[in-house]
Amino acid sequence: MSSYAPREIPLDIRLMQGTSRALFWLVALGCLFVAGHWLMQRNWWDIRAVRLQGDLQRISPVTVRAEALPQLRGNFLTINLAQAQRVFESLPWVRTAVVQRLWPMQLAVTLQAQQPVAIWREPGSAAQLVNTQGQAFTANLGEVQGLGLPQLSGPAGTSAQVLQMSQKLQPLMQEFHQTVATLAQGSGGNWSVQTRSGLSIDLGSAPDSAATQTRLKQFMTLMPQLEARYGRSIDSVDLRYPNGFAVHLQGVDLPGMNKTSNKTPQPAGRKD
């Protein structure tokens, strides 16, 4: 019985077979891609509902749907969730948004509202609000009327710093039954505060320093006695003095007060 060795397939035929198989799979994959793309574009996958949840106290669902939905692109399968998140977070009063797909054909949007704690103003810009993190955001100021929010101002980008200073000063003010109404940081670094009673206080460049805090407490303690002595209300005080402070009475100019010297005191950091 004779046997034959298998014939080796010529190289050119092997190359043709390999090329044919490669072309077949390329065509098959291309067909699958086209079919998949066609299926994803069908209106079967249209988003049919957007479910809003979370903190909606200041966020109107009607406004969210009217302003956000027209900006969304794609359907249930193709929508870019990160881009959708940015759209929702660009709306007034929205601090954060989490967007998720929700079967069948829905989006679940969890919103966190901004919590305003102050009104913010900086040179050359319209008034904004400040949230609990010190971030400035744009919203309708008319919606916070009646909340008694303090007004803060300072150079661009300093809203967090000014808010922090306000929070440091407020407890001290409350010890003397005062409340911060406005706090401003000037371009030169000086700070000034006005209370709800109308008292203006020049704090200098280091309002949270121990020396300034001590002078502020001394003034607040003496304020009732000074007003009783002169029969007038104090409308402003300058604390930029190394050993005392200078006050201004309504209708009366009073020289700088200094317990340790007969000279008119000079603002801290200034030399004669």
Which residues on adjacent β-strands are paired with residue 107? 50, 101
Q: Which residues pair with 252 in a beta bridge?
A: 249
At 248-267, the pLDDT tens digits run: 998 765 454 444 333 344 44
Number of domains in the chain: 2
Q: Are residues 130 and 211 in the same domain?
A: yes
Contact 73, 79 (CB under 8 A): yes
Tokens of 200: 């203006």
Categorize the per-residue pLDDT at 98 as very low, low, confident or very high, splitting at 50, 70 and 90: very high
- Are residues 210 and 123 part of one domain? yes
pLDDT at 272 over 50: no
Per-residue pLDDT at 22? 74
Residue ranges making up the domain that contains 68: 47-113
- Amino acid occupying residue 103: W
Question: Span 76-101, mean pLDDT?
Answer: 95
In this predicted structure, the answer to whether residue 227 has a pLDDT above a threshold of 60 is: yes
Nearest-5° angle of CA 155, CA 158, CA 164? Answer: 130
pTM: 0.74
Place of tokens 């009475």: 249
Q: Can you state the angle between helices 210-230 and 159-175, rounded to 10 degrees?
A: 50
CATH code at 78? Answer: 3.10.20.310
Query: Domain boundary residue among 94, 113, 132?
Result: 113
pLDDT at 205 over 80: yes
Cis peptide before 104 (omega within 30 of 0): yes
Average pLDDT over residues 212-220: 93
Choosing from 113, 134, 168, the residue where a domain stops is: 113
Residue predicted with more confidence, 33 or 78 = 78
Measured at the alpha carbon of residue 208, what is the angle toward residues 203 and 213, in degrees to the nearest 5? 70
- Report the CATH number at residue 199: 3.40.50.11690
Contacts of 32 (CB under 8 A, 6+ apart): none
Residues in the chain: 272
- Cβ within 8 Å of residue 72, ≥6 positions away: 47, 79, 84, 87
* Same domain as 201, residue 71: no
* Residue 192 covered by a domain: yes
Q: What is the pLDDT of residues 4-53, one digit of tens each?
A: 556 676 666 666 766 777 776 777 777 666 655 555 555 677 889 999 99
Indicate the helix (H) or strand (E) that contains 40: helix 11-40
Which of 89, 113, 137 is the last residue in one of the domains?
113
User: What backbone phi and psi angles, to 5 degrees, belong to 235?
Assistant: -105, -15
pLDDT at 65: 84
The answer to whether the beta carbons of residues 95 and 113 sit under 8 Å apart is yes
Cβ-contact 218, 175 below 8 angstroms:
no
Q: Are 46 and 75 in contact (CB under 8 A)?
A: yes
Cross-strand partners of 195? 180
The predicted pLDDT at position 265 comes to 44
22 SS3 class: helix
The least confident of 42-51, 105-114, 184-193, 262-271 is 262-271
| 112-166 tens-digit pLDDT | 999 999 999 999 899 999 999 999 999 999 999 989 999 999 999 999 999 999 9
DSSP string, 43-110: GGG---EEEEEE--SS--HHHHHHHHGGG--S-TTT--HHHHHHHHHTSTTEEEEEEEEETTTEEEEE
- Its sign, for the CA torsion 225, 230, 231, 233, is negative
* Residue pLDDT, tens place only, 233-247: 999 999 998 888 899
